[in-house]
Structure 1
């Protein structure tokens, strides 16, 4: 949590914007948050001193390099995170004791149970209501999730939504065991059996967010877990 007490809401707005966008200049932040460039630079200086953000120089044309700001690991930890190093240690012990294959089976079973829980909560509503409900469930678990309707590709596709998660509530686990992300994709497919679910962004690949393209397919028949 931030130690500074000066205008914490503005500083939190800066952190949230950087979490969503990945990078931003001081000028961009000033415009988005509607405060003066001088004030935004004071906030940025404070946040850098607290090691919540860092900057890097990026050459833009023939002018002077621009400073672009991004979150540090400490800055990302400012946001809710339900899992800690104990989970990684426990999974490591399981892998050593039971073997990778059995541990993978255990992880898959966990995601299957969570998928059933989600399905029970979301019911058989229209897709727009199900994805909105899914976002609320993910937010309650510590994910900074949001969803937007997008234009589908292809004439055979129905409704299409992009589910974005700007942080990962299990990032510590995912860094050590990337296979959990594969099970997460399988979980979304099980929750939405009448849809095609594709991963479009992945933090493990260096992106600053995870994204899933959810497309309703009229040819798919609902199945029961």
Structure 2
């Protein structure tokens, strides 16, 4: 039981660092409701496993603070966990298809796959409010391993309608995206197709070295 709890806490730490990019031991203790002493023990174990790294930052006149973030090994581990259902077989299969019919044909195949996925999402989202549909979409993406979340954006311009930031802190198909970057373009098109009454813009991109993928979802203005 103790081993299971420790493993769960370490996983919680890794997932927190995915979402927030970095944190101190005190911040992690507060967020996970665990004593700083216990958090530091878990952090030490994660350091030994090379899953996290830290830098020392001077805060005021006191001792320097350690600021922790995921190492490349730590991020790769989470990506592998999220991508278990796809695996290396999918990459190998697409490589074989590309060698056989060419990359243009592969891109066409991937587009059709996203169009089918978009239809599946639309059927699940229904015709509720934009807020309800975004919330349901995030739940569907979370179930697929994307560690998704969303945040409403307040607007002083009522005519702008509802706006949301949709974040995905983990890419469940990162290995595919690295070999076939066009997948990311199709994903943006898919979100736009799922929410046809909205504009969808990319704000963050893991492939560009950022720690998350992000999208701005905004209801289209209704012309009077």
Same fold (TM over 0.5): yes
Counterpart position of 1:56: 54
The answer to whether structure 1 residue 160 and structure 2 residue 163 are counterparts is yes
Determine helix, strand or coil for the equivalent of 2:162.
Answer: strand
How far apart, in 2, do the equivalents of 1:45 and 1:139 lie? 29
Count of aligned residue pairs for this structure pair: 216
How far apart, in 1, do the equivalents of 2:27 and 2:138 lie? 28
Structure 1: gaps of 5 or more residues: 221-225
How far apart, in 1, do the equivalents of 2:45 and 2:33 lie? 19
Please show how residues 1-225 of structure 1 align to structure 2 within 5 Å: 5=4, 7-51=6-50, 53-60=51-58, 66-71=65-70, 72-77=74-79, 79-81=81-83, 82-152=85-155, 156-219=159-222
* Superposed CA RMSD: 2.2
Flag the 1:26–1:78 CA change in 2: closer, same or farther, 3 A.
farther
8 Å CA contact 1:164–1:212 kept in 2: the answer is yes
Flag the 1:176–1:191 CA change in 2: closer, same or farther, 3 A.
same
TM-score normalized by the length of structure 2: 0.86
TM-score normalized by the length of structure 1: 0.86
Structure 2: gaps of 5 or more residues: none
